[in-house]
Each structure stands twice: as structure tokens, then as C-alpha cells.
Amino acid sequence: MRSALVAVCLAVLSGCGTMDFKPAEYPLRDGLVPPFNVAGTASVSNAQPADAQFIVYSYGGSQLASNLKAITEVMVEQTRKEIAKNGRAGAGGQKSIALKVNSLVSKYGMALFWRSSMQFEATLGNGQVLSFDVPHTSGSVHQNLNGNIAEGVMTLLRDDRVRAYLGS
């Protein structure tokens, strides 16, 4: 009886350190994404079907869990906003970018800073698939994760291949 009670208590306590991480936009200041041409209209979509929970951060018994579909959706929305803000519209056809975040993980470093890495794919409407691995460092775990998503948007929209596709 006593060992069963201990086992139940341990099972309950083992999940106490996991909290939901709800990704949110971390705004990019003006100038981080230079203006670029968009020949036609551009659409950005979420190509990530996976919505299972996974651990994005774990340290000292505390964990943050999220899902790749939600993370990708934040990246999609921020990419749309940055295209609207920095894209110079011109005549042309429909352009599309399908985004798929495959991984986002933050690790605690020394001296109160966190390092994260995000891997994602961008499938352009011309069939080209681009893979990115974007690092990020900051002084808070939530800013580190959200900032990594924002840095992914910045990396995407500064990429010469993406800019050439949007402008063609």
C-alpha cells in the first residue's frame, strides 16, 4: 500500500514541472528586414501538420511544452506582417511560401542566458524547398523562444533566394 502511494505521488509530481509555452510574436524593429520587391501578391501558409506536444525547454525539473503547428502559425503570421510592412508591391502573379517549423529548442547557458535553435523549411511557389537553421541567444527563456521565431522570419525575408522569387 505504501509503495503504491509513493508511486502515485512520484507519477503526479513528475508532470508538475511542465508548463505550456504559447508562442507569441516578438516584434522586429524597423530596418531589420530591408525593403524588397514583391511582383504580384504573396501568400504565406502553415505546412506543419504536427500538433503533438513536445518539450521546447527543459532545465532543473522545469519544462516548457508546445507544438510545431502553433509555432509555425506564429511564424506565418509574422511573415505576413513583415511582407506587408517591407514588401514593395508591383505587377505580377501570385507568389506563395509554405512554412514548416521542424524544431525549436532552447537550452540554458551560463550566466543567465539561453540559447535556442530553430530548424524550418520554406517551400516557394516555384517548387524550391529551402532549409534554415537559425540560432538565437537572449536573457529570458520566453524571449529566447519567441525571438528565435522572429529571427527565423528575418532570416527568411533577408535570404537572396526568397527575395529573388518574390520579386520575379
Question: What is the structure's pLDDT at 2?
Answer: 54
What pLDDT, in 10s, does the model give residues 7-43? 333 344 444 589 999 999 999 999 999 999 999 999 9
What CATH number is given to the structural domain containing 155?
A: 3.40.50.10610
Domain containing 86 equals 34-167
Question: What is the structure's pLDDT at 146?
Answer: 98
Q: Does 132 reside within a domain?
A: yes
Q: Does 26 reside within a domain?
A: no
Q: Does 16 reside within a domain?
A: no
Q: Does 29 reside within a domain?
A: no
| Number of residues in the chain | 168
* Domain tally, the chain: 1
Q: Does 22 reside within a domain?
A: no
Residues of the chain with pLDDT under 50: 4-15
DSSP 28: P
Determine contact, residues 67/52, Cβ cutoff 8 Å: yes
Q: Does 143 reside within a domain?
A: yes
